[in-house]
Amino acid sequence: MLFDFKLSTPEEGLVDITNEVTEAIMESGVLEGLCVIFCPHTTAAITINENADPDVKADFVLGMDRSFPELSAFRHAEGNSDAHIKSSTIGASETIIIAGGKPLLGTWQNIYFCEFDGPRTRKFYVKIMGG
Ligand code: ZN
């Protein structure tokens, strides 16, 4: 079963999509299986990270900016090579185990859509497989 979602993103940052993924799993009726969350964009990504302290999200953005700064030596004319590099570094998808009809996540884990070149209207897919 394939679900697609739209979201409005900030200039840069993590958008919590755990509720959307959980709702898709519940709607699918799958109790045991796997779930793939996929981002079809080249300047965004999907990740799992801490849900408790919101400062983690801010530090994530700061850390990514420091690790992958925009360089004048970049050749890509669109001027967002840093966002392309961040996208590939974090990755376009996450695979999650479905157990008991819910995503199997650690206590401190949530699922995030990462925006590196916003604000934009984005989408992501959730593919749910039972068994
Ligand atoms: Zn580009």
The answer to whether the beta carbons of residues 37 and 110 sit under 8 Å apart is: no
Quick one: what percent of the chain has pLDDT higher than 70?
100
Per-residue confidence at 131, pLDDT binned at 50, 70, 90?
Answer: confident
In the chain the first and final C-alpha atoms are separated, in Å, by 13
The CATH number assigned to the domain holding 62 equals 2.60.120.460
* Residue 42 alpha carbon to ligand 1 centre in Å: 8
Per DSSP, helices labelled H in the chain are 18-28, 55-67, 81-90
Q: What is the pLDDT of residue 26?
A: 97
* Residue 119 alpha carbon to ligand 1 centre in Å: 14
* Residue 86 alpha carbon to ligand 1 centre in Å: 12
28-86 pLDDT tens trace: 999 999 999 999 999 999 999 999 999 999 999 999 999 999 999 999 999 999 999 99
> At residue 125, does pLDDT exceed 80?
yes
* Residue 3 alpha carbon to ligand 1 centre in Å: 27
* Residue 49 alpha carbon to ligand 1 centre in Å: 26
Residue 70's domain spans which residues? Answer: 2-130
Cα-based angle 82, 83, 88 (whole degrees, multiple of 5): 100
When divided into structural domains, the chain yields a total of 1
* Residue 41 alpha carbon to ligand 1 centre in Å: 10
* Residue 118 alpha carbon to ligand 1 centre in Å: 12
Quick one: what percent of the chain has pLDDT higher than 90?
99
